[in-house]
Amino acid sequence: MFLPVLVKLQSDLRLWGVANCGAALLTAASWQLVQADEAPGNGFEYGEISGLFEAPGERDGYVSFGVFDRAFEAYSDWKSSLQDKHGFSFLIEDRMINQWGDGAEVYDNELNLIARQEFFRSAPGSLSLNVWGQFANSLAGRTAGRFQADLGVLSPLNGGTSGPDTSNQILQMLAVEYVAPNERWRFQAGKLALRTLVNLNRYANGDSEMFFSPMLGNNPVVPYTALLGLGLFAEYRTDLWRVSALVRAPDTELGLSTDAWSAGNRGYVVEAALTPRIPGLGDGIYRLTWSLDEANATFPRMETWSFSADQDIGARIGAFARYAQADATFRDFRRRAAVGFQVKKPFGFTHDRIGLGGWWGDPTNQALRDERGIELFYNAQITPYLQITPDLQVVFDPTNSTASSEVVFGLRLRLAL
C-alpha cells in the first residue's frame, strides 16, 4: 500500500527539486537494541505541552531587539525562581497561522496557557496538577474548516477551528499526575489531553513548531484526538520499551463536565513502544497504538490501529513515519499514511528546523477520491521567544474539486513566554 503512495510523492517531489531527500527515509539496516538516552526531565513524553518542561530562556536567536531581549531575560529569571522556590511552572504560547490559497485565505490564532504545580516536593516521587487552557480564534471570519472547503480540500491544512464557530475556549487538560520515585511509572487522572499522552511523534506532532497539516502532525483518523473527557492513564517504561493504557469518557464538552462519565460512555487506548538506540543512527521510538470507543447515543463503535515511528539519523536528521486505520469513524479519513524528516541546525542555527513530509489519505466517504499532499517548512528561531515559519503545502487530487492540485502558502508566528 505504501509503494504507490511513495511513487506518486516521489514524482511530484521531483518537480520541487527535493525528491532525492525522500530515499533516505526508506533505508533499512540491521540493528541491535542498546540502552537509549534518557529524555529530558523525568523521561516521559508530553507532546504538545513539551515546552512547559524547557528551562526558561534556554533557547537563543540570531536577532537582537535590545530592551525586549533584556526584559525577556529578567522574565525568564523570574520564571526560574518560581519553579525553584515554589514548584510552579507555566508557558504562555501564542501561535498564529496565516495561509493563502487560490481565492481563499485564513488567519488562525491560538493562545495556549499551560501550567504545572508540584506538591510535596520533599517527598519521593512527583505529584503535580497540570492545566492547559486554549483560546482559539479565526480572524477575518473564516475558520480553518471553511478555508479548506473553499479550496475543495478534505485534508486539514492546519490544526485550527474546523467547526462553524470562529471562537472557542477549550479546557484541554485538568489532570493530576504522579511520577514514581524511580521514574518508571506515571499516572494521570482528570480531564486528559490525549495529544500529550499517546500516538506522539518527536518530528511530527502538533502545529505550533512543526508541520502545519494534521495529516502529518496529528491523527485525522482516530476519534480520541478529536474528543475530550475525564479519564485515567497509566504508563510504565524501561530503557528499551514502554507500555501505557487509559480509559476515558469520550466527550465533546469544551469545559469540565462529568455527564459523559456518568452516562457510562467509555473509550480505551493501549500503546506499546520500543525505544532503542540504533548503532550508527541514534535514538528511535516505535509506537503501536490500539483504541476502542464503545457505541453510545452519539457515536458508533469505533476500533482503530495506529503506528508512529521517529528515528534519529545521526545528529542532524530526524525521520518519521505514521499510519492509522479505523473500522468505523466519524472523522473525514478512515486511513492515513505519512512519511517525512526534519533537518536540525540548518545553516548552523541551533534551534532552526527544516521539515519535509508527504501524506496519503483514504476518505471515510468512499465516493471521494484519495488525497495526497506534501509540505515543506522552515522554522526560524529569530529570538529566544519568537519563531517565524514560512510553509508550503501542495494537495494533489483534492476530493471536492476538479482541480489536479491546490497550492497553499503559509506563515506562522509563534511567541513563547
* Total number of domains constituting the chain: 1
Task: Summarize the confidence of residues 263-280 as an average pLDDT.
Answer: 93
CA angle (145, 151, 157) in 5-degree steps? 50
The pLDDT tens digits of the residues spanning 18-69 come to 333 333 333 333 333 333 334 546 689 998 999 888 888 788 888 888 898 8
Can you tell me the distance from the alpha carbon of 172 to that of 162, in angstroms, rounded to the nearest whole number? Answer: 16
> Residue 396's pLDDT is what?
96
User: Could you give the percent of the chain with pLDDT greater than 70?
Assistant: 90
Does residue 94 carry a pLDDT above 90? yes
Q: What are phi and psi of 221, to 5 degrees?
A: -105, -45
Q: What are phi and psi of 29, to 5 degrees?
A: -145, 150
User: Could you give the percent of the chain with pLDDT greater than 90?
Assistant: 62
CA angle (179, 128, 183) in 5-degree steps? 15
Q: What is the CATH number of the domain that holds 408?
A: 2.40.160.180
Q: Which three-class secondary structure string do you get for the chain?
A: CHHHHHHHHHHHHHHCCCHHHHHHHHCCCCCCCCCCCCCCCCCCCCHHHHHHHCCCCCCCCCCCCCHHHHHHHHHHHHHHHHHHHHCEEEEEEEEEEEEEECCEEEEEEEEEEEEEEEECCCCCCEEEEEEEEEEEEEECCCCHHHHHHHHCCCCCCCCCCCCCCCEEEEEEEEEEEEECCCCCEEEEEEECCHHHCCCCCCCCCCCCCCCCCHHHHCCCCCCCCCCECEEEEEEEECCCEEEEEEEECCECCCCCCCHHHHCCCCEEEEEEEECCEECCCEEEEEEEEEEEECCCCCCCCEEEEEEEEEEEECCCEEEEEEEEEECCCCCCEEEEEEEEEEEECHHHCCCCEEEEEEEEEEECCCCCCCEEEEEEEEEEEEECCEEEEEEEEEEECCCCCCCCEEEEEEEEEEEEC
Does residue 2 carry a pLDDT above 70? no
Can you tell me the distance from the alpha carbon of 175 to that of 130, in angstroms, rounded to the nearest whole number? Answer: 5
> Residue 39's pLDDT is what?
53
Q: Output the nine-digit C-alpha cell for 337.
A: 499514511
> Residue 372's pLDDT is what?
96
Give this prediction's pTM.
Answer: 0.85
10 or 288, greater pLDDT = 288
β partners of residue 355 = 342, 377
Rg (CA), the chain: 21
Can you tell me the distance from the alpha carbon of 309 to that of 271, in angstroms, rounded to the nearest whole number? Answer: 13
The pLDDT tens digits of the residues spanning 324-374 come to 999 988 888 999 999 999 999 998 888 999 999 999 999 999 999 999 999
Does residue 189 carry a pLDDT above 90? yes
- CA pseudo-torsion sign 198, 121, 417, 161: positive
- As a whole number, the mean pLDDT across the chain is 86
Residues whose CB is less than 8 angstroms from the CB of residue 404 and which lie 6 or more positions away in sequence, other chains included: 396, 397
Residue pair 283/36 in contact (Cβ under 8 Å)? The answer is yes
The pLDDT tens digits of the residues spanning 104-121 come to 899 999 999 999 999 998
Does residue 255 carry a pLDDT above 50? yes
Does residue 13 carry a pLDDT above 80? no
> Residue 20's pLDDT is what?
38
Q: Output the nine-digit C-alpha cell for 176.
A: 493530576
Q: Which domain holds residue 366?
A: 2-416
Residue pair 153/401 in contact (Cβ under 8 Å)? The answer is yes
State how far Cα 393 lies from the chain centre. 17
